[in-house]
Amino acid sequence: MNSIIENLLSGQENLDNNLDSLLLNLIKNFLELLLQSEITEFLGYQKYNTKGNNSGNSRNGSYNRGLHTKYGKIENLNIPRDRNGEFNTALFQPHQTRDQLLEEMIVMMYARGLSTRDIADVIEKMYGHHYSPSTISNITDIAIEEIEKWRNRKLKERYSVIFIDGTSVKVRRDHVDNESIYVIIGIDEEGYREILDFYIAPTESASVWEEQLSKLKSRGVQQVLLGVIDGLPGLRDAFLKVFPKADIQRCVVHKLRNTASKVRKKHLEDIMDDLKPIYKALTLEQAEKALNEFIAKWQSIYPEVTDSWLDDKYDLLAFYKYPESIRKSIYTTNWIERTNKEIKKRLKPTNSLPNITAAEKLVYLTVINYNDRWSQRRMKGFLQAKDDIIQLFKERYQ
């Protein structure tokens, strides 16, 4: 490697080729150091230490193998072995010749609409080694297996809140058209978020939502305090059919948008100001008083609007039953909409996704990324409300 550096500094060889060679050699040396550390930890003694005498196992030389990485192929990577043949590195699986980053990139390109032949060509140009289209297909099929395992994983028994919301994306079946992605997110009693499941269907309907919620129940979800939903017809009844003891919270922001579309522009600012005390009150009593004042003021001008708020009163104000510290997190589906926008952004190649399988692969990659991040971060206010939430579970599901 010193000769490479000397040539690089003197400009005697092609700059790009030397950088690639230098980087690969650095990675190779680093991996081999990690491998030596691993076998030392595995055996329990340093190389040449007499502690290994008569220990029942010892080093037994090494073997060489190649490893394809995102930076190119590492030749003759030195892998240590033990006499009993029990040592396996955690860096890669036995007989694995590709690193995980490269496989993830292949799955990502496939999900974004590239054909297996296109991906094989890209990989060859980028890394200098060739994957056949059949090899690419085998790699991407791994994602399908992982999706099935993920969809059948056991879920927790209790979730304080379950948010449901859909978004649309263009997908090809026999032709390109909008399809609905059903996304279900739960907040457990500790306050941690998790995307519990997703489903892609031609249209969004309450019956499909009921089916997806029932699947959650079959996977272990038995107790739910609150379901946060939008105004899709039949959705309230579908949720309560599966979780009859849950409260329903209609998204207040959706309701405000709907109201804004039904009033004249000259009244819009005043109406929005009069609605604000309803969802920003400190207590349920104050919110109800503000609602009554809104109805009295605007009923003669916009009777349909005021009747609508009165009809949905209990679902719009359900969040007041819960601790004040979490109310801002549960009265709207806004933040799940932000999640859906990110999913939709990932699912937006040039025109449309080539098929449902490709769409599911990319949604899955996005979902597990979110769940990994969320598992490290509790939702704001839920730690403070933990005792109250546990008490609510006891009272409702005694």
Confidence at residue 4, expressed as pLDDT on a 0 to 100 scale: 40
Confidence at residue 129, expressed as pLDDT on a 0 to 100 scale: 57
- The CA–CA distances, whole Å, from 136 to 118, 149, 203, 362 equal 10, 21, 31, 16
Confidence at residue 5, expressed as pLDDT on a 0 to 100 scale: 40
| Tens digit of each residue's pLDDT (9 = 90 or more) over 41-89 | 788 887 777 776 777 888 888 888 888 766 677 888 888 988 888 888 7
- Residue 230 and residue 211 in one domain: yes
Confidence at residue 138, expressed as pLDDT on a 0 to 100 scale: 64
Indicate the length of the chain as a whole number.
Answer: 398
Checking DSSP bridges between strand 158-172 and strand 223-229, what pairing results, if any?
Answer: parallel
Confidence at residue 362, expressed as pLDDT on a 0 to 100 scale: 76
Q: How far is CA 396 from the centre of its chain?
A: 30
- Residue 107 and residue 225 in one domain: no
Confidence at residue 161, expressed as pLDDT on a 0 to 100 scale: 97
Confidence at residue 9, expressed as pLDDT on a 0 to 100 scale: 44
Question: Structural domain tally of the chain?
Answer: 3
- Residue 338 and residue 199 in one domain: yes
Last residue of a domain, one of 135, 152, 169: 152
| Tens digit of each residue's pLDDT (9 = 90 or more) over 128-165 | 556 666 666 666 666 677 788 899 999 999 999 999 99
- Residue 135 and residue 242 in one domain: no
Q: How far apart are CA 116 and CA 106, in angstroms?
A: 9
Where do the DSSP E strands lie in 202-288? 223-229, 247-250
- Residue 379 and residue 239 in one domain: yes
- Residue 139 and residue 8 in one domain: no
The answer to whether 306 and 316 are in contact (CB under 8 A) is no
Q: Which residues of the chain have pLDDT under 50?
A: 1-16, 350
Structural domain boundaries enclosing 47: 1-95
- Residue 296 and residue 333 in one domain: yes
Confidence at residue 299, expressed as pLDDT on a 0 to 100 scale: 96
Q: How far apart are CA 165 and CA 163, in angstroms?
A: 7
- Residue 110 tokens, joined: 């496939």
CB atoms within 10 A of CB 206: 17
Confidence at residue 12, expressed as pLDDT on a 0 to 100 scale: 44
Confidence at residue 17, expressed as pLDDT on a 0 to 100 scale: 52
Last residue of a domain, one of 126, 152, 178: 152
- Residue 144 and residue 290 in one domain: no
Confidence at residue 95, expressed as pLDDT on a 0 to 100 scale: 66
